[in-house]
Structures are given as structure tokens and as C-alpha cells.
Amino acid sequence: MVKSTVKVVIRTRPTANFASKNLKLDLEKKTIEVFIPKDSTQGMINNQQENWKFKFDDFLHNAPQEEVYNICGQDIVRSVIEGYNGTIFAYGQTGAGKTYTMSGGSQNYKFRGIIPRAISQIFREVQNKPEFSFTIKVSYVEIYNELVYDLLSTIPPSEQAGSIMIQDDSKYGIVVKGLTLVMSTSEEDALNQLFEGETNRTIAEHKLNKSSTRSHCIYTLHIESRSRVESSEKVVFSKLNLVDLAGSERTKKTGSEGLTLTEANFINKSLSYMEQVVIALSEKGRDHVPYRQSKLTYILKDSIGGNSKTLMVANIWPEPEHMEETISTLRFATRMMRVSNEITINVELDPMQLIERYKKEVRDLRQELAMHDTLANRGRVVYESYTPEQQYQVQTIAEKFLDGGLDEIELESLRQIKELMNQMKNIYKKNLARYSGNDHKKEVRPPTNRTGPHKGSELKNVEDKDEGVGQEEHSGGFGLGRANPNSRPADSSALEPKSQFKQEEQDDILEKKKSVKSVTPEEAKKINSAKSAKRERQPDKNQAFMEFKNADGRDLDNNLNRLKEELKERKIELNSITSEVNSIKKDIDETREIVEKVRKHRAADEEDIIDEEEFVYIKKIRDLKKSYRVKFDSIKALKDEVNNVNRNIEYYRDKVIQEFEKWYEVKYGFLPVITHEETRTGTKPIEEKSTDDLDSDALAYIKAKKNVQTLHKAKKTLGAIGKA
């Protein structure tokens, strides 16, 4: 941000009765000296000040309107086109020439003021910048007796409530809520709005001014620009406030009474609050600035101490009888020069342009990925988010890999790797939750220590080691059951020394050999044959999924199919109404073209008269627009319904998968086989290979070999991830 002080220019009203004894102007040094002699009626002791000297940015003494605009308006208007906010306002006593300075006189085109000249310059600058697209809107606000009126509204100010709210917007600064903004595509349009607002202003007569404006008026041009050459999402916006303040007045001089007196009180009060704001801004270390004391100071918050290049034209009436008002105006102008604003170019990013840019970037990146896959001799890789069906397929692959059914997984993308890791984590959590609740395992584990019973932690270690040794054989013995094929051992013994394998496995085999006697061979054969039959009955998950949908999952599957049919119907209905809307839009465009042709063929003197043919077409357009709105509302409602149905479909898909997993585990999972006698005694025989056929190092060899194979698989997987 750049600091910019408020620029102050003094303009004197031309008069034949110039107070040459009281005022001394130095146009080169840009100073003014004021001399007011002491009042002799006050007596000998009179400390009244007699001399004042002021210095300002510029002086306009007997200056024509063109010179006034060149000094006061040109630079600020040019800055507004570049993206800075700008404000020009006139301040002074009633009758000093504020309205003439801002709006000008209606007698001659040369007498036009700052506002019409600024409008002309803005559209001239816009035409000189064809590489930019400009949008210009105008608004006109009146503050009368602390009530805010919209001068461009279709409702006359006399019928308005005057309760328009002023708000502080983080993006646009101070905004007037509900204010009419009229699009202006030419200088003529903007001037028409200016003149229309002028006719709605409140004007009254008193002794010093036959047409005194009794309100503060703010004419604002809102400008937005974006580049036509660059496909940039940057939008530059700014506003130009052109303010005609009501004049401060001494009611003794104006002879105001009744309504005029009430208006004068409100005017003087708001100008007094404005002076308090200026004083607060000029004081260093002042925390609070009373902007909200009046509507005028609040609406000019950006202009005084905010983000705006501001210039004040101080109008004075240099006649002897107005010296007190002149001194008051010059003092206020001096305080205004101490106010500094922080200005910056107003830039925002167009969200629609940003979306288009991001879409293009995504398309380009996908093309880059497709080219990379082609050069790497890889098939077509999908980079979109996974659907529930695809997630289920990845889960199946992860289960096969963990079960040993797959030696390696072909890695295609980072998204696939993340999904694999996620599914493996889910499998681990399910197995952990499934087996963490089986506390009875500790109770039925037999004592296998040579010197006495194992502690709980030692029992757990023995059990973990048994899970990783060889494959189960159906010889003698009584089995604990079998772990789920999707699970892995909880710990890894790849780093244990071989001597430790030898000692521990030999001890376990000897103790298991002792415990095998507790179950007869006939009982063990029955149990093992039942387990084998259960394992043989375990179907493929796809077949099981079809069985689940025809059994316990029938209701969920029916709901899912019903929602899919409902979605299909909604989409058909949506396409039908969309076609109708497009047809109506086409009819509207064609009818508009016909109306334009009718207007072009109409005679010049009948241009403002609508004939019967044109009236029929206009009525048709109105009816078509009504139908268009109805259909468009239907489309919005249908889109909401489609979104709701889609959400329900996703919910039921997830629900079906979750229920299927539960059903599958209950029906085909393996549970420990425990007899009533074992539950009572707290001991359980262990099924194991006979040691008669085993070498002393066999168990350690099998376990070490399996761990080495697992290590090689892990290295292959990590290598594939590194290449991807």
C-alpha cells in the first residue's frame, strides 16, 4: 500500500465585491492571508485573533470550469481507470458554488462541472484501451435529514422509507445495501442517469441561495476491467465517488425556519461529525475514529482515511460579510490536508476463470500422464477416484497378496499404492479386532514349560511362534483351529538367531508330544475332517457375494436397485426438461431477432410508438420468459433430487459391502474348536506334526526360509514403488 495525503484546492466564487482588505491571495506561493479587525465593541481587553495564513495545494481564483477540471479531476480519473479508488468532493458554506463546481450550469455546455467531464473522460479512456473489457455501472445516493435515498430507483424518493443500510464489505469496502446499479455502455447512458438523479434531489430557497441543495449527494461510477488479450483470471475493479455536500449555514443569516431550519440543523450536524472524523484522523495515536456517528461519514469512510485517492475543493465566498464562514472553511481544509489514505490497486481473481484454468491444467497433466504411461509400455492407467467396486477389487488383491496367493502386485500409480495401503490397514484392523477378544485362548493353553507353567506373556510368545511354522497336517492330535487366511502373524522372527530357533522349537516339540495323548485319534480325525470340509466349502468371494445378495442382503440389494432405477428416471426427466428449456431459449432468441427487424423497418418518426405486430412479439417473449423461469426452477429441483439419490446410492453401496463382510466372516470364517471337558479343566491339547519324521533343525529351517521369501517380496514391492 502507498500513503497518499488528501489534496486540497481552494476555489473562490467570482464576485464584484471582493474583500481585498480582508483577503490576500498569492497564487504563485499558493497561500492565502486573512485579516479580520478586532471588534471595537468588545472593549480594551480583546484577545481576538486578527491574522491567519494558510497554504494549500492549489488555488482557483476566477478560474473557468475547464481549468478547474484539469487541476482537480484529470489525474484522479486516470487513476480510477488503472484500478485505484478515487473521490472528489466540494465543501463550503451555502451559496459558495459547490453544486456549480461539481455539476455545472445548465445555460451552456462550457459550464458543465466536474461530474459530466469525469464521465466524458472515463469513456474516452475506455475507448483508448481496446485490449481491456470494461464494465461501468453508476449509482446516485442522497442523504437527506440522516436518511439515505436511492435517486435512481424506480420508486420516487418521496415514497422511499430512507432506511437503506450502509455496510462495510471486506472486498469492496463501504457498500450501500440494495442500491440501484445501472449499467452504462456509453457516455450518454451515464449522463442520463446523472440528470435523472438531479431531478430527484431536494432543493429549497433561502436568503443566500435561491436553489440551495438540502442534502448530500454522491454520484458513483463502479468500474471493472479484465484483459481481452491475456486469458487471465485477474479482474481490476475501482470506484469514483463524486460528492456534492450540502453547504454549512448560519441560520441567522439565511433566515431559515420550519422545515428549512430542520434541514439546516441536520446539515450542520453531519458536517460537524465529518470535522470530528478529520480531527481524529489527523491526531497521531488515536485508536477510534467515529465514522458511524452519521450516514455521511460512514459512507465516505473509504474516501477519508481509507483506500482512495481523495481531493477536496474548498469553495469560499470572498465577500466581507462572509469572512467568518471563509475562516471556518479554510480551517477545515487545513485539517483535511493532514489526513493520509493508504491506496492500492483493487484486484480480485475471477472464480469462473480460475475454474477454467484449473480444468485446463488437469487436462494437460492427464495428457502428460497418459504419454508417460505410453512411453513406459504401461496399459491405460485410471487416475480418477476409486468407486466402491474398484475399492473392493483392490481389497481382494490385498487379501490374496497377504495370504500368499500373489507373489507380487503390479503397481500402476500413486493412487493405487495409497488405496492398497489403506485396504491393508483395514484388513489388519479387522483381524486385530477379531482375535483380540478371544481371551479364552490363554485359559485353554496347556503348560508347556519344562520346569512349570508358563506366564501369560510366555504363552503368547509360544503361540505366535507356532503360527509361523510349516503347514497343518491331519495326523494325530487335537487342533486349536486355524487362523483366518487373510491374516498374518503378529510378529516377525526373521531377525532371531538360528540357535534360538533350535532351542525353542525343540522344547515346544517335546512338550507338544506329551500333550497329544490327551485326545484320542478318532476324535482328532473327526475334528480335522470337519475343518477340512469347512475349508473346502469356502467359495470365491464373488460367488459368495451373489449368494449374499439372494439371501441376507436381499433387502439392501433391492433398495440399491430401486435407487438406481429412480436415478435413471430422474435423469431421463432432467434431460427432457433441459431440452424443453433449450427449445424455449431458442424461441426467445428468434422472437427477439424478429422484434429487432420490425424496429429497424419502422419509420424514424414512429420510433417511440409500438405497433400491434411488435406488441404481439413482445408479449410472446414475456410469456416465453415466464415458461423459461418455471422450467429452469424445475431443473434446479431435479438436480437436487439427483444429488440426493446419488448420495443414497453411495450409502447403500457401502452398507452392502460392510454387511457382506460381516456375513462372510460369520458363515465361512474359522473358529477354535473347544470341547466341554477342555473348558472345565482349562487345558487344551495342541495339534502338531510328530517329531519322529523331523530333523532337529527342520523347524528353524522352514521358518527361516519363509522369512527370507517374505523379505524378497518386500524388496520387490519397494523397488516397484521407487520406479513408479
Binding residues for ATP: 92-99
Q: Are 493 and 439 in contact (CB under 8 A)?
A: no
* DSSP states of 647-664: HHHHHHHHHHHHHHHHHH
CA-based Rg of the chain, rounded to a whole angstrom? 45
The grid coordinates of residue 602 equal 419502422
Cell of 677: 471337558
The DSSP call for residue 254 is: H
- Distance between terminal CA atoms of the chain? 47
What count of other Cβ atoms lies within 10 Å of the Cβ of residue 103?
A: 24
- Closest by CA to 656, choosing from 558, 562, 567, 568, is 558
| Residue set of the binding site | 92-99
> Got the DSSP string for 62-74?
S--HHHHHHHHTH
Give the orientation angle of helix 612-668 with respect to helix 388-403, to 10 degrees: 20
Beta-strand relationship, 7-12 and 309-316: parallel
Under 8 Å between Cβ of 663 and 553 = yes
Among the listed residues 268, 173, 264, the one whose alpha carbon sits nearest the alpha carbon of residue 222: 173
Q: Which three cell numbers stand for residue 366?
A: 492427464
Distance, C-alpha 559 to centroid of its chain: 36
Per the document, the length of the chain is 724
Single-letter residue type at 43: G
| Dist. CA 450–CA 507, nearest whole Å | 8
- DSSP H or E stretch at residue 347: strand 347-349
Q: How many helices (H) and strands (E) does the chain have?
A: 21, 19
The amino acid occupying position 537 is R
- Grid look-up 435413471 returns 568
User: Packing angle between helix 498-515 and helix 456-467, nearest 10 degrees?
Assistant: 100
- Residue 186 in grid coordinates: 456509453
Structural element, H or E, at residue 53: strand 51-55
Alpha-carbon span 479 to 486, nearest angstrom: 19
- All cell numbers assigned to 184: 452504462
**Grid cell listed for 571:** 435423469
Identity at 176, one-letter amino acid code: V
Q: Per the structure block, which three cell numbers stand in for 344?
A: 492500492
